[in-house]
Amino acid sequence: MEAGSNSCIYGPVNSWRLGRSLGVDVLCIDSICSFACVYCQLGKINRLITERAVFVPTSRILSDLRVSDWRNSDIITFSGSGEPTLARNLGETIEAIRRETGKPIAVLTNSTMLGDKAVRDEIGNADRIYCKLDAWSDDVLRRIDRPAPGITLESIIGGIRTLRADFDGFLGIQTMILSQPDESEVEKLASIYRDLGPNEVELNLPLRPVPASWNIESRGNVTETHSTSRLLKTITPDQAAEMGRSISAITGIRVITPFERTAKTNK
């Protein structure tokens, strides 16, 4: 049976990149993030912060896990109601769930907290880390991701670069594309990817509805549009796939989209 909306565990849901993914929400009590992205499927971010805290006790997360359908998942993914690295008990929760299940662990992060060595050490125990990088300039960062004060593109890139140097597992970079970048902007983005050296880049489009207020049920793969939701205008899947092919040709990095799973594979 799938976990309910009042649980710290949700799913399993079908992920186009990870298979059957069981979600772990170490925030759960509210929408808590260091970004307030215009495309966020959770809706309104109620707490825009950069200070770490324990929002949900590890014991409660484990209790919810034990009554979930975790055995029917391929991987356990830390994401949930905002930015998981804001949870100070993230590391101990990763290790506890690994001991409990023996399943591979993935962490989805917006990359804003990676300048903190404690954060890098904690998520470094995961098997797969997916880092958000939506911007090629601070202007794009402010318009699309709407970060908490003090967060810059340079700090995000520096954090990912330091993580990559220390992390031996699979590192993916996820980029949400809204408008069509021009040729020089694609080249800037490709240059950043090449510098960071991920195993894979994912180009995504914001196809899920954006609720008007926080909607915890949107943690999973929700695609329904409700009267209180809105859909964003974006580029087409074909344009995203072509952009992926261009970036892969420039960098030699594997680039995938949900619409064309492999733009090119050189490594």
Residue 216 lies in a domain: yes
Eight-class DSSP state of 71:
G
How sure is the predictor about 223, in pLDDT bands with cuts at 50, 70 and 90? very low
Residue 248 lies in a domain: no
Containing structural domain, residue 95: 9-152+166-172+203-230
Q: pTM score, two decimals?
A: 0.90
How sure is the predictor about 206, in pLDDT bands with cuts at 50, 70 and 90? confident
Residue 263 lies in a domain: no
Longest dimension (CA), the chain: 51
How sure is the predictor about 85, in pLDDT bands with cuts at 50, 70 and 90? very high
Residue 190 lies in a domain: no
Residue 259 lies in a domain: no
Concatenating the DSSP letter of every residue in 96-126 gives HHHHHH---EEEEE-STTTTSHHHHHHHTTS
Residue 219 lies in a domain: yes
Pairing, β 9-15 against β 254-256 = unpaired
Eight-class DSSP state of 225:
P
Q: Mean of the pLDDT values across residues 236-246?
A: 90
For 159-202, write each residue's pLDDT tens digit: 999 999 999 999 999 999 988 899 999 999 999 999 999 999 99
Cis amide prior to 258 (ω within 30 degrees) = no
Domain count, the chain: 1
How sure is the predictor about 217, in pLDDT bands with cuts at 50, 70 and 90? low
Number of helical H runs and strand E runs in the chain: 7, 12
Residue 181 lies in a domain: no
Residue 160 lies in a domain: no
